[in-house]
Structure 1
Amino acid sequence: MKNTIILICSLFLFSCSSDDIKKPTQVKTIVISGDNTLNGTPKQLTVVIQPNDAVNKEVTWSVSDPAIAAITETGLLTGIKNGTVKVTATAKDGSGVTAEKTYTVSGITEPTIFVESVSIPAATITNGQPLQLTVQVAPANATNKTLTWSTSSQAMATISQEGLLTPKLNGTVVVTATTTDGSGKSTQIEITVSGVTAVYNTAVRSESILIWQRSNGGWGKAVADLNLYNTEQTAQQKATALASKNNTDTTIDNGHVVTELRWLLADYKTTNNPNYLLAAEKAIDWLFLAQYANGGWPQYYPDKSGYRHQITYNDGAIANVMNVMWDIIKGKNNLELVNPKYKDKAVTSFNKGIDIILQTQITYKGKKTVWCAQHDEVTLKPALARAYELPTFSGSESVGIVRVLMLVEQPSADVKQAVKDAVEWFNGAKLFDIATKKITDSSQPSGQDVIVVASPGSVLWARFYDLENNLPLFCGRDGIPKKTLAEIENERRVGYSWYGNWPNGLIGSEYSNWKAKHGL
């Protein structure tokens, strides 16, 4: 029997085509924005890169004549003397794509003297009070000594552009001072803060969330029902949470991490308690760390035992994370409250996520369709999770994935086609004139049952469709696929969502509006 199960699962695993697994999308064009003039004030250059879903949009900057102008790694162009200079932006993704623009430098009456070094004398805060930081810039006759200041965590401390550091929590914070003259010089200092006695407002929900947050920034499933965070934790729960702080079972399954960090930010907005912001940012750091290089996220991190290592769309896991990245990028839904440094990282993370979504879209009979609830992170093939979660087409999880693709503001041809193909699959996978009904049945172990009944005019979708024939598939804990719900054990019939109307809104007005928005 065991060999039979393995054979069946293997057939499902390899029945989808591998012909269309694509390489990561590379840069095709670069355009340097803005006009081509430069006076005595440094100019921040930016680029427009196509396609929009290129995975790596970073560029390397260079100038043709360093005697005329200098440019930093981030594209800050500074004139040194009057003349013309060619600026080149080169894609970092190995595509070899470049863009060039010639700038006319004028209005410089004296030679520019760049900052050669900048340092901040050692400092600590022991009384919890604001501290004015000083900075040493060399040479003393540098043309532009203006600096920009930032902290590693605005939850720990904020800093003004004059260098006044205001602590909020005890601990350590890294302060960075960066030149604005185009020299690209910067310095950092770690400052230990103590003596902060401020008492902040609290919220029961976030206090409970803080108790259960792991040391790595994520959460496990110790609080399985997220609504239980709304209850003050008992002494025993607090002790259990403390003892499990270093556990590695942190997960994005069942809404974890994403839900906790969103609730923390919502409570931070109403209480101004920096502990909540700090915890939310630790969770975001965990999300960045957990992402695979190819753009996917495992169900658990760092524990990748069993099927936990797979790229997991199940129960909206990756879609939830992608929506967090999108909100960081757009500065909305309270994600505007986090450290601005996250925006660039979120852009990269989101673009990589879009790319892996495109790569894992399943091909069936030469045509793209939808996605499996989980994919192998190496082969990208549909993969087995729990015994009753076989490699299949997902009629549920694929809905959230398509909605993520539809977020892309300037979708490439590949993104547009992926959405179109998925919607066509949803339309072709409709199940007509049936419904599910939960009934009381004392003969069953659970005392109830779920049955399929006739329902003229109804439209449903199955949770799973087999990869060989694209037909509804049902499976119990024995791991053997069945054709009907009635064939699996009662515990799985009543304990899992096998039918639903998940794609209804997506394939209706949402898709129509999306097509109209993009002129399709």
Structure 2
Amino acid sequence: MKIYKSVISLFFVLLSLSCSSDHDEKPVKITSMVISGDNTLSAESKQLTVVVTPSNAANKEVTWSVSDPAIAVITETGLLTGIKNGTVKVTAAAKDGSGVKAEKNYTVSGITEPVVLIQSITINQAVVTDGKPIQLSAQIAPANATTKTLTWTTSSQAIGPISADGLLTPKMNGTVTLTATSADGSGKSAQLQIVISGVTTVYATTVRAESILVWQRNNGGWGKAVADLNDYNTAQTQSQITTALNSKNNTDTTIDNGHVVTELRWLLADYKTTNNPNYLLAAEKALDFLFTAQYANGGWPQYYPDKSGYRHQITYNDGAIANVMNVMWDIQKGKNNLELTNPTYKEKAVTAFNKGIDIILKTQITYKGKKTVWCAQHDEVTLLPALARAYELPTFSGSESVGIVRVLMLVEQPSAEIKQAVKDAVDWFNGAKLTGIATQKINDANQPSGQDVIVVSSPGNVIWARFYDLQNNLPLFCGRDGIPKLTLAEIENERRVGYSWYGNWPSGLIGSEYTNWKSKHGL
């Protein structure tokens, strides 16, 4: 029996290797790029961007420079500001070592007076000991700078939000770092750390948010100590509170089963109704956890920082990464309460989302020369389909892949590669339909659980299997012994009734959703 299991294990390793996810051993580098937009520049600054080829290049960052700083200057983020009328060449150089550059000549016009840029900013010292709002100010040099406008940001919207013109409004006691940034394109900024004390406001609370705070780990995430997320709606017992406090430093924090994403969304919802800054602070701490947990290649592991066993793998299972990507999308779009978080998260979210799209494209499985769907989990190094629990073999996923496609469909200006990825996945879903059958849960006293799940005839019904074999693209079932089976009836009763082996997950996606998406993009 042990020999048989070893052969089966080897068999699935070979299967995973036979279905590539188009991963190159070396990171994909930029082959070409162009600077977007026209080549004119008025007295107003212009934000420049580049379009990179290929779209799945691993590192899309560039270094900006100008040929003549006396005519125009450019910040490290690509904000171009004219100094005097004339012509200047702008260069964007790839940071990935490819040596690729993009150049464009800009004609600067409409400047009637010489522009004097800010050279330095010094924020005036300030203290907050009474918990009251305070107006921040700064010294600018030279004094005759053309544009003296500064934009203010805070390190913590929960502790001390600050208006665009520098009014700090303490919400809770703590330490914040305030940043004043020039608006003239010079790229100059200054920071000041302020310890806030004297805030005595008592804020409203909710049972749900207070329970979530109790279980939040010091790294910003949550483990699976709460068996059901709805248990947060019940006040925690003293025993539970003690257990939670003793587990604050545990590292088994996870995005599995909706964790982190659900907690932070509920915290923001409760913050919106109570204005309790503790809830916003905890939500932003959770966002920091998500940004930190993301791999450089764009994927997220199921657990972080504990990466033991299969926890290190890029995990689409149960919508883990799709959930995180939807949070990143909501941040950059300022919706679903994510607009309540610190505005400084927006740029981070854009970067994280784009990297996530890249890894989704790279992990789409190629089968017989055509892209298909995804496995529930992929190795974070090889990007190949990977084994998780014994009954979660490297397979095509008929369930998790649905959420991944929906994430791809969020992209407002999808590249040709994204469009093809969506089409190929929908084609696979259509080809993987199982017709004329359904599952039925029945009472069965002869089974250990007292129940059973059976497959029955159902004329006209359409469903999909949770997993499909990588070699022949047929439904696959597996029990805790790790041995693949061809039918649901062949695995043990506990797994038949305790896992979703069939479902209609893709039905809405491949119907009206896909039709509307094609119409939107003229396909």
Residue 459 of structure 1 corresponds to: 462
Paired with 1:78 and 1:398, the residues of 2 have a C-alpha distance of 45
Paired with 1:480 and 1:279, the residues of 2 have a C-alpha distance of 43
Paired with 2:303 and 2:492, the residues of 1 have a C-alpha distance of 28
Gapped regions of structure 2 (runs ≥ 5): none
Residue 486 of structure 2 corresponds to: 483
Residue 358 of structure 2 corresponds to: 355
Residue 17 of structure 1 corresponds to: 19
Residue 262 of structure 1 corresponds to: 265
Paired with 1:211 and 1:486, the residues of 2 have a C-alpha distance of 43
Counterpart amino acid of 1:101? N
Paired with 2:145 and 2:430, the residues of 1 have a C-alpha distance of 67
Q: Is the 8 A contact 2:82 2:108 kept in 1?
A: no
Residue 137 of structure 2 corresponds to: 134
Residue 37 of structure 2 corresponds to: 33
RMSD in angstroms over aligned alpha carbons?
A: 2.1
Q: Is the 8 A contact 2:160 2:176 kept in 1?
A: yes
Q: Is the 8 A contact 1:171 1:192 kept in 2?
A: yes
Q: What is the correspondence of 1:436-447 to structure 2 with a 5 Å cutoff?
A: 436-447=439-450
Q: What is the CA distance between 1:143 and its match in structure 2?
A: 3.8
* Match for residue 382 of structure 2 among 379, 384, 390: 379
Q: Show structure 1 runs of 4+ deviating over 6 A.
A: none
CA separation of 1:61 and 1:453: change in aligned 2, threshold 3 A: same
Paired with 1:196 and 1:318, the residues of 2 have a C-alpha distance of 38
Residue 218 of structure 2 corresponds to: 215
Q: What is the CA distance between 1:464 and its match in structure 2?
A: 1.0
Counterpart amino acid of 2:395? T
Q: Is the 8 A contact 1:55 1:351 kept in 2?
A: no
CA separation of 1:217 and 1:496: change in aligned 2, threshold 3 A: same
CA separation of 1:76 and 1:384: change in aligned 2, threshold 3 A: closer
Q: Is the 8 A contact 2:154 2:177 kept in 1?
A: yes
For residue 223 of structure 2, give the secondary structure of its aligned residue in structure 1: coil
1:435 equivalent in alignment to 2:443: no
Paired with 2:40 and 2:152, the residues of 1 have a C-alpha distance of 29
Q: What is the correspondence of 1:47-446 to structure 2 with a 5 Å cutoff?
A: 47=49, 49-50=51-52, 56-95=59-98, 96-109=100-113, 111-446=114-449
Paired with 2:29 and 2:513, the residues of 1 have a C-alpha distance of 26
Q: Is the 8 A contact 1:369 1:425 kept in 2?
A: yes
Residue 448 of structure 1 corresponds to: 451
TM-score (norm 1): 0.94
Q: What is the CA distance between 1:94 and its match in structure 2?
A: 4.5
Paired with 1:495 and 1:19, the residues of 2 have a C-alpha distance of 30
Counterpart amino acid of 1:14? L
Cα deviation 1:165-188 (Å, max 9, x = unaligned)? 111111111100112233322111
CA separation of 1:14 and 1:353: change in aligned 2, threshold 3 A: farther
Q: What is the CA distance between 1:196 and its match in structure 2?
A: 0.7
Residue 5 of structure 1 corresponds to: 5
Paired with 1:418 and 1:6, the residues of 2 have a C-alpha distance of 35
Q: Is the 8 A contact 1:426 1:507 kept in 2?
A: yes
Q: What is the CA distance between 1:289 and its match in structure 2?
A: 0.7
Gapped regions of structure 1 (runs ≥ 5): none
Q: Percent identity?
A: 74
Residue 494 of structure 1 corresponds to: 497
1:46 equivalent in alignment to 2:32: no
Q: What is the CA distance between 1:5 and its match in structure 2?
A: 2.5
Q: What is the CA distance between 1:487 and its match in structure 2?
A: 1.2
Paired with 1:330 and 1:92, the residues of 2 have a C-alpha distance of 27
Q: Is the 8 A contact 1:249 1:302 kept in 2?
A: yes
Q: What is the CA distance between 1:93 and its match in structure 2?
A: 4.3
Q: What is the CA distance between 1:428 and its match in structure 2?
A: 1.6
Paired with 2:471 and 2:510, the residues of 1 have a C-alpha distance of 24
Q: Which moved more, 1:271-280 or 1:129-138?
A: 129-138
Paired with 1:228 and 1:24, the residues of 2 have a C-alpha distance of 45
Q: Which moved more, 1:182-191 or 1:164-173?
A: 182-191
